[in-house]
Amino acid sequence: MRKKIVAGNWKMNKNLQEGLSLATELNEALKGKTVNCDVVIGTPFIHLASVAKAIDTTKIGVSAQNCADKASGAYTGEVSAEMVASTGATYVILGHSERRAYYHETPEILKEKVLLALANNLTPIFCIGEVLAEREAEKHFEVVKSQIQDSLFGLSEEDFGKIVLAYEPVWAIGTGKTATADQAQEMHAFIRKILADKYGQAVADNTSILYGGSCNASNAKELFANPDVDGGLIGGASLGVDKFMPIIEAF
Ligand code: PEP
């Protein structure tokens, strides 16, 4: 059975002390509680080691928000997948629309990042999603299909089985505009069909597909009730335990 996952993406928010407080507060809130999904927090690079040390990583997975497309060497300012893994992090968010748009991450670059993440035993949370103009032009299915094909379909069946996908319509990220539960389900079912065509039904059925884009305490339940929505990638609402816990508890 595929995993249900609620993953936070802190983006470039919280200094180290604030990040540690948030992580430990979440850790406390989850202590002794049984929740029906895996919980992950995606922190800035510099927080990873301290956060991983401060919390129970068997209850909260720690994720980076990016990694380099090179294994090591003279790449000033970059952070490799191996370095991420050495902090105790076990996930890495890759292909977020902000990185595609602002840092010009191409499908080819993302392909390399995915391979390096997998080689270092990190679970990629691979983001896909169309911009508003593409949805309005009814190209959203085509766009999402290409994003998956171009960066992931070179993977073996075994490696593909280690990927978590996050469908994040770009027009819904940080805008307060959420995809309706029907729009989310429609796209998630489409994605699962593409995976089944390429890797077979068993792989498709085992792949967790998260929804992201203004998901919050008031819409999480409805979104997660869809059969093909296996959780959420949460930006703004992951920055406070009071907002993040109800999303976790929506399962
Ligand atoms: C995100 O950045 O992955 C995201 C979904 O952001 P928000 O929840 O703030 O829309």
Q: Is the CB of 42 under 6 A from ligand 1?
A: no
**pTM summary value:** 0.98
Q: pLDDT tens, 188-206?
A: 999 999 999 999 999 999 9
- Rg (C-alpha) for the chain, rounded Å, is 17
Looking at residue 177, its pLDDT comes to 85
For range 163-176, the mean pLDDT: 94
Share of the chain above pLDDT 90, in %: 96
- The residue among 36, 1, 50, 11 whose CA lies nearest residue 239 is 11
Q: What's the token pair of residue 70?
A: 């090179």
CA-CA-CA-CA dihedral for 206, 212, 218, 221, to nearest 10: -10
Q: Is the CB of 101 under 6 A from ligand 1?
A: no
Residue 35: band (very low, low, confident or very high) from pLDDT cuts 50, 70, 90: very high
Domain that holds residue 180: 5-248
Lowest mean pLDDT among 36-40, 44-48, 108-112, 169-173: 169-173
**Which atom of ligand 1 lies at the shortest distance from residue 127's CA?**
3
CATH code for the domain in which residue 73 is found? 3.20.20.70
Residue of 43, 168, 178, 211 best suited for mutating to test ligand 1, as the one with most atoms within 8 Å of CB: 168
Counting the structural domains of the chain, the total is 1
Using the predicted structure, report yes or no on whether residue 178 has a pLDDT greater than 90: no
Q: Is the CB of 128 under 6 A from ligand 1?
A: no
For range 127-146, the mean pLDDT: 97
For range 124-129, the mean pLDDT: 98
> Which residues, including other chains, have CB under 8 Å from residue 154's CB and lie 6 or more apart?
111
